[in-house]
Chain A
């Protein structure tokens, strides 16, 4: 299984760029990398998904090296409202065996 490993927690200050790295050494050819954000008492929110290289949207960027064994979620200029738990998932839509959220990375943004 493409087990993922990400830091348990991170701290940052408003206005800084935050990079959260996820390791997935056993990623399979058909797997995509997907990131979610979750606030307390809410459902997770889809942030970004990628297969290789770099993906950017209005919320974040996702950097994926050529070997795809890791990925980095980049949040530009964070604000207090970015304080949340971030989850990295690796898999493809046809295989729920890898649909594991884990405990994610708890990001705390300070003023």
Chain B
């Protein structure tokens, strides 16, 4: 299966620590998205890459969050100085080059728990 993969699947960290998540998109997809999802809510858009360029970043996204996609392949999402409110599922998705609307393929997510 060559779907979107995310690592780790679960992360427990203490408040104030930094965490980094990795996403490997479907290989031929050039666009990559990060989302955050809390219980009972739909995924919330965080940021978006086309190839290695970060084109959009949610205005709601704290400066403690940063994402990279250095070679236009995998991406990392880092959260610095984690807070309890950062506890959520972090989802990554990729979309095909020829896509038109919001056709995206999601990974399984990384569940973050901040204690």
Closest to B96 in A: A93
CB neighbours (8 Å) of A31 from chain B are 101
Least CB distance from A27 to B in Å reads 11
CB neighbours (8 Å) of A85 from chain B are 42
A96 touches B48 (CB 8 A): yes
With A32-B101, A93-B100: A45-B42 Cβ-Cβ less than 8 Å: no
CB neighbours (8 Å) of B48 from chain A are 96
Question: With an 8 A cutoff between CB atoms, is A9 at the interface?
Answer: no
A32 touches B100 (CB 8 A): yes
Question: With an 8 A cutoff between CB atoms, is A34 at the interface?
Answer: yes
Interface residues on A, range: 20 to 34
Contact of B42 among A33, A51, A104 (CB under 8 A): A104
A93 touches B101 (CB 8 A): yes
Total residue contacts A-B, CB cutoff 8 A: 69
Give the CA-CA distance A92 to B107 in the complex, in Å: 21
Question: With an 8 A cutoff between CB atoms, is B67 at the interface?
Answer: no
With A42-B108, A43-B93, A43-B109: A100-B45 Cβ-Cβ less than 8 Å: yes
CB neighbours (8 Å) of B42 from chain A are 85, 87, 100-104
Question: With an 8 A cutoff between CB atoms, is B41 at the interface?
Answer: yes
A45 touches B101 (CB 8 A): no
Least CB distance from B10 to A in Å reads 10
A residues neighboring B (CB under 8 Å): 31-34, 41-46, 49, 51, 85, 87, 89-93, 96, 99-104
Extra contacts besides A34-B102, A91-B101 (18): CB < 8 Å: A32-B101, A32-B102, A34-B103, A41-B109, A43-B106, A44-B43, A44-B93, A45-B106, A46-B104, A49-B101, A87-B42, A91-B102, A92-B100, A93-B101, A96-B48, A99-B45, A100-B42, A103-B41
